[in-house]
Amino acid sequence: MAVGFEPRVVGFLCNWCSYAGADMAGTSRMSYPPNIRIIRVPCSGRVDPLFVVKAFQMGADGVLIAGCHPGDCHYTEGNYHMRRRFALLQPFLDYVGIEKERFRLEWVSASEGKRFTQVVTSFTEQLRQLGPRKDRELMAAKGVQRAV
């Protein structure tokens, strides 16, 4: 574990459930690690795999997608589609070397402020243990250069 390493987490939160849940955590003055940068989306089903890969490309140490519990989606079925997408994307990113521990899908409802803080805390801690991404070192070892 790198000393003083603070993971940078990007969170895609659906407007109706998980963003509201995060908001509730805030208004209830519950604290959670400030490592997460939240991006509000209308539905977890809006999250395109492109967003996730882009976040990792721009240096995120972890990406969290949070949506309504299955059955409670504000748009009825968005989270079911997200579930399938995630099931394939997580092992695929792991396969290209972005460890599966860096990518999470969680269901957080609007009233689950406490659960939201638990999710962010445990995710951040897990990433802290995992350490920073090793891309720079691996590229140097393989002689891969960035574009001039």
Partner 1 sequence: MQDKIRAKARELLETGTVDCVIGYERATDGLTARPVFIYGTAGVDRLVFDQTCVHNLSKFLLDRRDKRTAIVAKPCDSRAINLLINEGQLARDKVYIIGVVCQGMPEVSWNRVSKEPQERCQRCPQRVPVVYDYLVGEPVEALPVTFSDVEQMENAGPAERRGFWLEQFGRCIRCHACRQACPGCYCSECFVDQLDPTWVGIRKDVTDNEMWNTIRAFHLAGRCISCNECERVCPVSIPLSLLNRKLEKDVGEFFDFQAGIKAETVPPFATFKKDEHLKGVE
Binding-site ranges for partner 1 (CB under 8 A): 49-50, 53-54, 57, 70-71, 77, 80-81, 83-100, 105, 107, 134-135, 138-139, 141-147
> CB-wise, 34 or 49, nearer to partner 1?
49
Q: How far apart are CB 34 and partner 1 at their closest, in Å?
A: 26
8 Å CB contact between 49 and 98? no
Cα(66)–Cα(60) distance, rounded to whole angstroms? 16
> CB-wise, 32 or 107, nearer to partner 1?
107
Q: How far apart are CB 104 and partner 1 at their closest, in Å?
A: 9
Q: How far apart are CB 148 and partner 1 at their closest, in Å?
A: 9
8 Å CB contact between 84 and 124? no
> CB-wise, 23 or 135, nearer to partner 1?
135
> CB-wise, 6 or 94, nearer to partner 1?
94
SS3 64: strand
Q: How far apart are CB 102 and partner 1 at their closest, in Å?
A: 10
Q: Identify the CA nearest to 5 among candidates 134, 115, 148, 99.
A: 134
Q: What are phi and psi of 87, to 5 degrees?
A: -60, -30
> CB-wise, 3 or 95, nearer to partner 1?
95
Q: How far apart are CB 20 and partner 1 at their closest, in Å?
A: 20
Is residue 51 packed enough to be buried (19+ CB in 10 Å), middle (13-18) or exposed (0-12)?
A: middle
If you ran DSSP here, which 8-state letter would residue 142 be given?
A: H
